[in-house]
Amino acid sequence: MSDVKLGAIFPTTEIGSDPAAIRDWIQTAEGLGYAHVIVYDHVLGAEHAGREPALGGPYTEEDAFHEPLTLLAYLAALTTRIELCTGVVILPQRQTALVAKQAVEIDLLSEGRLRLGVGTGWNHVEYTSLGVPFAKRGKRLDEQVALLRALWEKPVVDFTGDFHRVERAGLLPLPHRSIPIWFGGFTKVSIQRAARTGDGFIFGAKPSQMARLLDQLTEERERLGRADLPFGADAVVDFSEPESWAKEIETWQDRGGTHLAVRAMDTAAEFIGVKRMGYEGPRAYIDALETFHREVG
């Protein structure tokens, strides 16, 4: 049974846009010894009222999101050790070759600290606004992952798929390593996709709620003959539930989880079933990092 690596969710919707506040947060996280930081993604927020089909996700037009890849480039320049993770980039609504290029740049400039978490998302309004069909996003994601890896491995790629055509072209510079691709989600399909081609999985809730999904993922990897390959599993604990921190970490460790991140944000608290803490100002999120580290780090 190995130790779980403890990380932190970047409070993207609440910390604000002051570069100094963001700098202080990430440098505190690294200084305290957090293993990784996870950054959420939404390009656009949308009003939920009067939608058909309905929008079922937790975020609206009132929630601010820092663009994750740009933000990680900034965080890379401010740090030297902490792993930089997207959790997750909604890959199907983005241009694959451009994401490949951006990911390489971050990985090179951070000296190999990027973990690219990808998923399909839930906001059909966002897809339409970005000019990408919401339908077949899962199949598009599968093809994107294959193309990402091809672009990272070969100086010249000739790729024909259902959604992409790259004719004898490539990107330079190439990365110095295979950038890990983790998947995220809550569905059986996302579990199967990760078991088939992923380097890990980012679970969006606490270990006691995600343990069964991790078991299913482990079973699927065994069925596919991939159980012996390196694979990570990341989950979340909420800062508002200190009474459960130790137990949740123990549950994840016993189940074979490898990573766990503390989430300190009031945004979407009701959606995920936790209480609001009333964080006030950027210092509150640094205080949360310090308190969690003091208690369990």
pLDDT 10s digits, 200-223: 999 999 999 999 999 999 999 999
* pLDDT for 241 beyond 90: yes
* pLDDT for 172 beyond 80: yes
Apex 89 CA angle, 83 and 90, nearest 5: 165
What whole-number distance in Å separates Cα of residue 64 and Cα of residue 54? 21
Q: Average model confidence (pLDDT) for the chain?
A: 97
Predicted confidence at residue 251, as pLDDT, reads 96
What sign does the dihedral 152-157-160-164 (CA atoms) show?
positive
What whole-number distance in Å separates Cα of residue 221 and Cα of residue 196? 7
| Model pTM score | 0.96
What whole-number distance in Å separates Cα of residue 79 and Cα of residue 74? 9
- As a whole number, mean pLDDT of residues 134-158 equals 98
- As a whole number, mean pLDDT of residues 157-162 equals 98
* pLDDT for 193 beyond 50: yes
What whole-number distance in Å separates Cα of residue 50 and Cα of residue 262? 34
CA proximity to 37, closest of 70, 72, 95, 83:
83
- As a whole number, mean pLDDT of residues 131-147 equals 97
pLDDT 10s digits, 35-67: 999 999 999 999 999 999 999 899 999 999 999
The helix (H) or strand (E) run that includes residue 215 is helix 207-223
The answer to whether 253 and 3 have CB atoms below 8 angstroms apart is: yes
Confidence of residue 2 (pLDDT cuts 50, 70, 90): low
* pLDDT for 297 beyond 90: no
* pLDDT for 168 beyond 90: yes
β-strand partners of 201: 183, 233
What whole-number distance in Å separates Cα of residue 118 and Cα of residue 133? 17
Q: 88: cis peptide before it, omega within 30°?
A: yes
Give the structural domain span for 262: 5-296
pLDDT 10s digits, 148-157: 999 999 999 9
DSSP state of 2: P
pLDDT 10s digits, 76-124: 999 999 999 999 999 999 999 999 999 999 999 999 999 999 999 999 9
Task: For residue 194, give the amino acid letter.
Answer: A
What whole-number distance in Å separates Cα of residue 67 and Cα of residue 65? 6
pLDDT 10s digits, 252-281: 999 999 999 999 999 999 999 999 999 999
Number of domains in the chain: 1
CA proximity to 135, closest of 117, 116, 118, 121:
121
Predicted confidence at residue 1, as pLDDT, reads 38
Q: What is the CATH number of the domain that holds 65?
A: 3.20.20.30
Listing DSSP states for 57-76 in one string gives SS--TT-----HHHHHHHHH
- As a whole number, mean pLDDT of residues 229-245 equals 97
